Amino acid sequence: MTETRARWAEVHEATELALVTVGRLPHGAQTHPSLCQGWTRGHVLTHLARNADALGNLVTWALSGVPTPMYASLEAREAAIASGATRPMSELAADVQESAARLAELAARLSPEHDEVQVEVRGGWWLPARKLARLRLREVCYHHVDLDAGFGFADLTSDHAARFLADEVTRLRSHPEAPALTMRSDEGDDYTIGDGTAYVTGSRAAILGWVARGLTAGMSGDGCLPTLPKGA
């Protein structure tokens, strides 16, 4: 199995796990607040489905060589999420499942020759097609947590938690308002931002939750935890 196919297999496994959680949510649960500020669970699930379709557009781009944007526009993206958020749980679950299946069908057509094809992600960010699986994996795992339905960052595999945390640290290091701090995980990792003045500890999952979503459970430091910049 190629590395790209292995990554898409991880996406499938994470999606199936998320669908189990979604399937347990009762009627009306779509109106419950999520961990994404201003979004309900219905917003999160609709976004997850539309993201699958959007990444499907990028897979199509890689396969055909014809530029195909993720979304028609930012306004269209936001409108689709808002309009779909209030649907019944059964419709939301079906949408997530069916859109994931469409994406998986397209991704199965990718071969090593497509790995380095450059595609443009929303916001003007270009990346090789081989990284689309990792991008989708992050969306599925993070938004599974965002449902606030019993699955947390601590439930990620250790490999996924380590990879996501490394990505978040890279993002934080590039932010001009990032505080100077050292983060040490219980697993023995050290991540330094700036001159590393402040010192915080926690498991990889706890640190990931703090950096990615501002969650403080399981975190400790010298006094108060530093304030992280928004959009880091």
pLDDT tens-digit map of 118-127? 999 988 899 9
Region 104-110 average pLDDT:
97
- At 34, the pLDDT band (50, 70, 90 cuts) reads very high
pLDDT at 46: 98
Exposure of 221 in the CB half-sphere (CA atoms within 13 A): 20
Fold of 159-221: Nonspecific Lipid-transfer Protein; Chain A (3.30.1050)
Q: Tell me the whole-structure pTM to 2 decimals.
A: 0.95
The Cα 120–Cα 69 span in angstroms is: 7
Per-chain mean pLDDT for the chain: 95
**Residues 220-232, buried b or exposed e (16+ Cβ, 10 A)?**
ebeeebbebeeeb
At residue 136's C-alpha, the angle toward residues 132 and 139, to 5°, is 145
Exposure of 103 in the CB half-sphere (CA atoms within 13 A): 29
Return the SS3 of 128: strand
pLDDT at 231: 60
Question: Was domain 3-151 assigned CATH 1.10.3720.10?
Answer: no
Domain ranges of the chain: 3-151, 159-221
Region 134-138 average pLDDT:
97
CB of 124 closer than 8 Å to CB of 118: no
Region 2-22 average pLDDT:
95
